[in-house]
Amino acid sequence: MNHTYAVIMAGGGGTRLWPVSRKKHPKHILPLLGEDTLFQSTVARLEELVPLDQILIVTAEGQAEELEKQAPGIPAKNFLIEPEPRGTASVVGLAASVLAKRDPEAVMLVLPSDHYIRNRDLFHLVMRAAVQVAHKGYLVTLGITPSFPSTGYGYIQRGELLHEKYNYPVYRVLRFTEKPDEEKAREMLARGDHSWNSGMFIWRVDRILDEFARQMPDLRTALKKIGATWNTPEEQRVLRAEWPRLKSVTVDYGIVEHAENVAVLLAGGLEWSDVGSWDSLFDILLPDQDGNVIVNSEHMLLETHDTLVYSTEKKLIITVGVDDLIVVDSGDALLVCHRDQAQQVRQVIENLKKMDKNDNL
Amino acid sequence: MNHTYAVIMAGGGGTRLWPVSRKKHPKHILPLLGEDTLFQSTVARLEELVPLDQILIVTAEGQAEELEKQAPGIPAKNFLIEPEPRGTASVVGLAASVLAKRDPEAVMLVLPSDHYIRNRDLFHLVMRAAVQVAHKGYLVTLGITPSFPSTGYGYIQRGELLHEKYNYPVYRVLRFTEKPDEEKAREMLARGDHSWNSGMFIWRVDRILDEFARQMPDLRTALKKIGATWNTPEEQRVLRAEWPRLKSVTVDYGIVEHAENVAVLLAGGLEWSDVGSWDSLFDILLPDQDGNVIVNSEHMLLETHDTLVYSTEKKLIITVGVDDLIVVDSGDALLVCHRDQAQQVRQVIENLKKMDKNDNL
């Protein structure tokens, strides 16, 4: 029997890809990169590793229907719906509780639904190695080799090499650092012993539930109540009663950063991106000889270089004499942003909220 | 009796203001700068000088109805419709022939319909002075003091001072130069004896018809035939028979540049613009403290300077970290252009024509 399960976290927003990614149409359910959505690619990437029946999706009420449509091979009962967003600790806890009931020996791959990985074969090798390490009782993180001093990712510092016979180098984790400022990021890159935290995790269900019991006992208690009534007529009543009281925290901060026996597997070569902002999308797509990328739009680029033009509708977009721009048209809204300023889109969203422009969120 | 008549040339396109100015909605019939259209402002500017009944509009078939709506005070019979575009020589010739029949002593002000003049009082003074000069038999051009070596305007070189008792300095014209390259433009600016050709002319109808007879005798002959049947049941038949055979040429090139007794009146201080391109529109509008101008659109400009954001529809436009841009959204098309490259929009139009994108023209 295959004890490997995947848990896809598919409830997020992806606000830095505004105006295409919206509250009601977040980035993982959009065909951002072509025919498939990021969510569909995440599922497709798993098919060689895990039977479809062993893929769980944790998502929000408003997205479940669309996701079921996009992954018709996954049984409806595998879609777990958060009554409201309570952070990834709650998401992982819920999935772990449900899996523990189904298969006490389960190993779970925890995967965001909105990441991009070009090298799918390598992903399979990496995940198989990670599952081996997880079987030994480690909480496994996937570390990405940093290519620049990013302030958009968390960092993982590695300590001793754990085991030499895995296909991949696996180290004990010394320390996690949340998104740093640029100076700190440069320091970490210079040290040479830091990876980016990819946000993908691999662990045994019993191990992670033990960590919940040790570090977040209130959550563990609530999860036990929810788990006890799961697949019974009481399921939804208990879930809805317990959920809103949960502390909203990420699984990184709430559990992984202070867990015992945390390992980092160096997953070089995946060609991974969290597609977290327009500049990272730009990095994924193949530019033409002028460095330009055009997506979904009619276009005419005159004396234009290193510019991304993205439209969700058939629209004629023309640029003249510009460099290093990101131009995104979503019909009701238009973003024109310098490539180096793509992180500022988060600020745009904050401003829109303050201005009560809910139609644009 | 007031022998002063105005002829507004309102058949043009204004392609460099694409995508707002379109074949079917050219710039002079659009409220580019606020409530009034450029055409309406042109009419309003004349009201103190000329009775409405003495304003003639020469326009194209597709625009006449809209223009009549925009200037309800002008009698319908004053709208002269070109069967097809044949250049401004034909336009001026037709208007002169019609006026000669109506009032042999007529002086005509020839005015484009799509120029901007901030200082309306000064315009009145200038025009009254020009009419005085025209009465003496001169073909009067209005010269604008150049503020930079523009390659977008024609230039007028002045010779001897004609007369000191006019309110404005009036010179005999030495030479016209069509739109020069930048080096030539710099030379002319350095000489200090050149003005921009504003494209506004003031002359007696008998004088200009004499010039037509001397320089473009074929056109004069055709115009005589048209004039002879004007206001008769034969009018349209003759006009439509003669018009397509006319040589298509500008009045500048066909007549003014080689006419006798051409004068230039230095019209400093009008705050004039031909609104010929997005950068010139930018120059007219008042920027905020960051140098930005926003027209007709919701907006949020973050770390943005010296940028024009223009939308014909209610749309949220956001710019982040950009300088010196022109961003124009017309619903079906979007232009993002460096401020220094605004003249290239003409090239855009040429490309669209080649690509047969007629819906976008």
**Angle, CA of B244, B246 and B248, to the nearest 5°:** 100
How many domains does one find in chain A?
2
The residue in chain B having the minimum alpha-carbon distance to the alpha carbon of residue A313 is B332
Does A174 share its domain with A236? Answer: yes
Number of H helices, E strands in chain A: 11, 17
The residue in chain B having the minimum alpha-carbon distance to the alpha carbon of residue A337 is B320
Does B162 share its domain with B290? Answer: no
Interface test with B, best of A22, A303, A318 (most B CBs within 10 A): A318
Q: Is the pLDDT of residue A307 over 90?
A: yes
pLDDT of residue A98: 95
Are the CB atoms for A56 and A78 separated by under 8 Å?
yes
| Cβ-based neighbour number of residue B224 at 10 Å | 15
Does A162 share its domain with A264? Answer: yes
> In whole angstroms, what is the distance from residue B29 CA to residue B19 CA?
14
For residue range A98-141, list pLDDT tens digits in order.
999 999 999 999 999 999 999 999 999 999 999 999 999 999 99
Are the CB atoms for A39 and A58 separated by under 8 Å?
no
Q: Is the pLDDT of residue B360 over 70?
A: yes
Q: Which of B19, B320, B347 sits opposite A348 (nearest CB)?
A: B320
Are the CB atoms for B336 and B5 separated by under 8 Å?
no
Cα–Cα distances in Å, from B74 out to A175, B40, B175? Answer: 81, 11, 37
Domain span at residue A132 reads: 4-273
Cα–Cα distances in Å, from B48 out to B45, B149, B265? Answer: 7, 34, 20
Are the CB atoms for A277 and A349 separated by under 8 Å?
no
pLDDT of residue B299: 83
If you ran DSSP here, which 8-state letter would residue A254 be given? H
Interface test with A, best of B334, B337, B356, B359 (most A CBs within 10 A): B334
Take residue A201 and report the two structure tokens written for it.
Answer: 């995790």
Are the CB atoms for A212 and A256 separated by under 8 Å?
no
The residue in chain A having the minimum alpha-carbon distance to the alpha carbon of residue B351 is A300
Angle between helices A217-229 and A87-102 (to 10 degrees): 40
A interface toward B at CB cutoff 8 Å? 19, 300, 302-303, 315-322, 325, 327, 329, 332-338, 340-342, 344-345, 347-348, 351-352, 357, 360
Does A42 share its domain with A87? Answer: yes
Q: Is the pLDDT of residue B88 over 70?
A: yes
Beta-carbon contacts of residue A214 (< 8 Å; ≥ 6 apart): none
Cα–Cα distances in Å, from A21 out to A219, A277, A354, B130? Answer: 31, 10, 19, 60
The domain boundary, picked from A273, A302, A326, lies at A273
Q: Is the pLDDT of residue A34 over 80?
A: no
pLDDT of residue B242: 94
pLDDT of residue B151: 87
Does B262 share its domain with B293? Answer: no
The domain boundary, picked from B250, B273, B296, lies at B273
Q: How confident is the model at residue B164 (pLDDT cuts 50, 70, 90)?
A: low
Take residue A305 and report the two structure tokens written for it.
Answer: 């270089």
Are the CB atoms for B87 and B250 separated by under 8 Å?
yes
Does A336 share its domain with A268? Answer: no
Beta-carbon contacts of residue A150 (< 8 Å; ≥ 6 apart): A185, A196
> In whole angstroms, what is the distance from residue A260 CA to residue A139 CA?
8
pLDDT > 90 fraction of chain B, expressed in percent and rounded: 75
> In whole angstroms, what is the distance from residue A280 CA to residue A27 CA?
13
Beta-carbon contacts of residue A107 (< 8 Å; ≥ 6 apart): A3, A4, A5, A131, A134, A135, A202, A203, A204, A205
Q: What's the rounded mean pLDDT across residues B24-37?
A: 87
Does B262 share its domain with B302? Answer: no
Q: Which of A303, A315, A329 sits opposite B341 (nearest CB)?
A: A303
Contacts A321 to B, Cβ<8 Å: 337-338, 340-341, 344
Nearest CA distance, A153 vs chain B (angstrom): 22
Does B219 share its domain with B344? Answer: no
Does B47 share its domain with B130? Answer: yes
Amino acid at B136: K
**Of the candidates B345, B310, B340, the residue with the CA atom closest to the CA atom of residue B324:** B340
Interface test with B, best of A296, A305, A336, A353 (most B CBs within 10 A): A336
For residue range B219-257, list pLDDT tens digits in order.
999 999 999 999 899 999 999 999 999 999 999 999 999
pLDDT of residue B87: 92
For residue range B203-219, list pLDDT tens digits in order.
999 999 999 999 999 99
Q: Which is more confident, A295 or A207?
A: A207
B321-341 core/surface letters (b: 16 or more CB in 10 A; e: else): bbbbbbbbbbeebbbbbbbeb
pLDDT of residue A281: 87
Contacts A327 to B, Cβ<8 Å: 334, 336
Does A240 share its domain with A152? Answer: yes
Whether the upstream peptide bond of residue B19 has omega within 30° of 0, thus cis, is yes
- ipTM confidence score: 0.82
For residue range B50-77, list pLDDT tens digits in order.
999 999 999 998 899 999 999 999 999 9
Q: Is the pLDDT of residue B300 over 80?
A: yes
Does B61 share its domain with B76? Answer: yes
Q: How confident is the model at residue B295 (pLDDT cuts 50, 70, 90)?
A: confident
Q: Is the pLDDT of residue B163 over 80?
A: no
Amino acid at B191: R
Average pLDDT, chain B: 92
Phi-psi region of A257 (alpha: psi -120 to 50; beta: other; left: phi over 0): alpha
Take residue B67 and report the two structure tokens written for it.
Answer: 């223009």
For residue range A44-96, list pLDDT tens digits in order.
999 999 999 999 999 998 899 999 999 999 999 999 999 998 999 999 999 99
The sign one gets for the Cα dihedral B345, B347, B350, B354 is: negative
pLDDT of residue B10: 95
Nearest CA distance, B187 vs chain A (angstrom): 27
> In whole angstroms, what is the distance from residue B98 CA to residue B43 CA?
20
Does A291 share its domain with A239? Answer: no
Length of chain B: 361
Instruction: Scan for tokens 């055409």, then name that residue.
Output: B39
CATH code of B242's domain? 3.90.550.10
Contacts B305 to A, Cβ<8 Å: none
Least confident of A202-206, B42-46, B160-164: B160-164
> In whole angstroms, what is the distance from residue B45 CA to residue B39 CA?
10
Q: Is the pLDDT of residue A164 over 70?
A: no
- Tell me the three-class secondary structure of chain B, residue by residue: CCCEEEEEEECCCCHHHCCCCECCECHHHCCCCCCCCHHHHHHHHHCCCCCHHHEEEEEEHHHHHHHHHHCCCCCHHHEEEECCCCHHHHHHHHHHHHHHHHCCCCEEEEEECCCEECCHHHHHHHHHHHHHHHHCCCEEEEEECCCCCCCCCCEEEEEEEEECCCCCCEEEEEEEECCCCHHHHHHHHHHCCEEEEEEEEEEEHHHHHHHHHHHCHHHHHHHHHHHHHCCCCCHHHHHHHHHHHCCCCCHHHHCHHHCCCEEEEECCCCCEECCCCHHHHHHHCCCCCCCCEEECCEEEEECCECCEEEECCCCEEEEECCECEEEEECCCEEEEEEHHHHHHHHHHHHHHHHCCCHHHC
Q: How confident is the model at residue A296 (pLDDT cuts 50, 70, 90)?
A: confident
For residue range B181-204, list pLDDT tens digits in order.
999 999 999 999 999 999 999 999
Q: Which of A302, A341, A352 sits opposite B321 (nearest CB)?
A: A341
Q: How confident is the model at residue B343 (pLDDT cuts 50, 70, 90)?
A: confident
The domain boundary, picked from A238, A254, A273, lies at A273
> In whole angstroms, what is the distance from residue A331 CA to residue A311 CA?
8
For residue range B314-342, list pLDDT tens digits in order.
889 999 999 999 999 998 899 999 999 99
